[in-house]
Amino acid sequence: MAVGLTTRMSPADAAHIAEAARCLRAGGLLAFPTETVYGLGADAANPRAVAGIYEAKGRPSFNPLIAHVADLAAARRIARFDARALALAEAFWPGPLTLVLPKAADCPVADLATAGLDTIAIRVPAHPVAHALLQAFGGAVVAPSANISGHVSPTTAAHVLSDLDGRIDMILDGGPVEVGVESTIVGCFDTPMLLRPGGLPREAIERVLGQSLANPPDEPASDTNQPLAPGMLASHYAPRTRVRLLAEAVNPGEALLAFGSAPLPGIEAAAAVLNLSEQGDLGEAATNLFGYLRALDAAAIASGASCIAVMPVPNHGLGEAINDRLRRAAV
């Protein structure tokens, strides 16, 4: 376990981005901002560094990682793109879309990072700090969300520090992230498949493809026992406090995660209230989601509240990813 490291928190300026690239080259573990959530990065081609990510996060090692690269040209060195994958990459990169593609023959990414699969998940992040870091480093950086496995994903550098202090080398603080939920993952299989709803709405992807995205089967493929998106564990993004969905009223002493401006019976007796978006804006709600879950969890623990009640959120656009994360938080 990589406990006992001194974790440096640094501003994401040019000097520290250069230092971060050196840290990656030396096999270090580094948290950095992307537009979706903070990632915990390591050199994708260095198996020991990749193993360090699994240790620092306490992550089950069957769960493969996303390779982050600076641009499409770099992506084409590690995976094979067909016409459909190219169309998606050209429409949405850089941005919150991850493509699962067949590995290139000479793919340099460590087997441990892809959990022995012959496919690889790739994304080109849009955040200027992530982009500068990837350019300075030159190679692919594997990066899961920078939290202890199963916890709420980090949307600020302070969230990263509270989970991973002493377990990683460095955190680049680029301020709060913009999107707030992880990238959308599309499997570029014979039938393109939405493996994880995320920061790019399904509808936008379907418009470019000119067809609808399939949903993954509920059961893992029985021949290999390998789930299509192995990280989609039922319980994930979990606060310590119980989460109650589709609340139509607040019970005395519950904390409330609200959405929209409709009045809610019992709200005056809530232990704490945060509103994802008073205006009912799903983008604003996605940005606030993980930070508010962390804050309400802390408030509930401090006040002895037994439960975080969550108001319904519409399921279109970014609402699909928000509801996916809320369901996993409630398991």
* Residue 311 · residue 250 · CB < 8 Å: no
Q: How far is the CB of 35 from ligand TXA (least distance, A)?
A: 8
Tell me the residue number closest to ligand TXA, measured at CB: 231
Nearer to ligand TXA by Cβ, of 183 and 275: the residue is 183
User: Based on CB atoms, which residue is closest to ligand TXA, 34 or 156?
Assistant: 34
Q: Binding of ligand TXA at residue 183 (CB under 6 A)?
A: yes
Answer yes or no whether residue 64 interacts with ligand TXA by CB under 6 A: yes
The span from the CA of 115 to the CA of 63, in Å, is 6
User: Which pair of tokens denotes residue 65?
Assistant: 């990682």
Q: Which of residues 128-157 bind ligand TXA (CB under 6 A)?
A: 143-145
Kindly tell me which residue out of 88, 185, 186, 243 binds ligand TXA, with binding defined by CB under 6 A. Answer: 185
CB 112 → ligand TXA: shortest distance, Å? 12
H/E element holding 130?
Answer: helix 128-137
Starting at the edge strand that comes first in sequence, how are the strands of the sheet with 307-310 ordered?
Answer: 242-244, 307-310, 255-258, 272-275
User: From Mg ion, ligand TXA, none, which one binds at residue 98 (CB under 5 to 8 Å depending on kind)?
Assistant: ligand TXA
Q: How far is 261 from 280, CA to CA, in rounded Å?
A: 7
- Nearest Cα neighbor of 274 from 291, 249, 252 is 291
d(CA 218, CA 184): 18
- Position among 163, 173, 182, 297 found at the interface with ligand TXA (CB under 6 A): 182
Which of positions 141-180 make contact with Mg ion (CB under 5 A)? Answer: 145
Place of tokens 């955190």: 171
Per partner kind, with CB cut-offs from 5 to 8 A, the member of Mg ion, ligand TXA, none near residue 64 is ligand TXA
Both tokens assigned to 51: 């193993």
Strand partners, 98: 185
Closer residue to ligand TXA in complex, CB, 189/242: 189
Among ligand TXA, Mg ion, none, partner that 276 touches (CB below 5 to 8 angstroms by kind): none
- 163 lines the binding site for ligand TXA (CB under 6 A): no
Contact 44, 140 (CB under 8 A): yes
Partner from Mg ion, ligand TXA, none binding residue 156, C-beta < 5-8 Å depending on class: none
Q: Shortest distance, CB of residue 144 to Mg ion, whole angstroms?
A: 5
Per-residue burial over 262-288, b if 16 or more Cβ lie within 10 Å, else e, is: eebeeeeebbbbbbbbeeeebebbbbb
Closest CA to 308 of 235, 246, 228: 246
Q: Using CB under 6 A, which of 216, 231, 239, 319 touches ligand TXA?
A: 231
Distance separating alpha carbons of residues 163 and 147, to the nearest angstrom: 6
Residues in the site for ligand TXA, rule: CB under 6 A?
34, 36-37, 39, 63-66, 98, 100, 114, 117, 119-121, 123, 143-145, 182-183, 185, 195-196, 228-232
Residues in the site for Mg ion, rule: CB under 5 A?
145
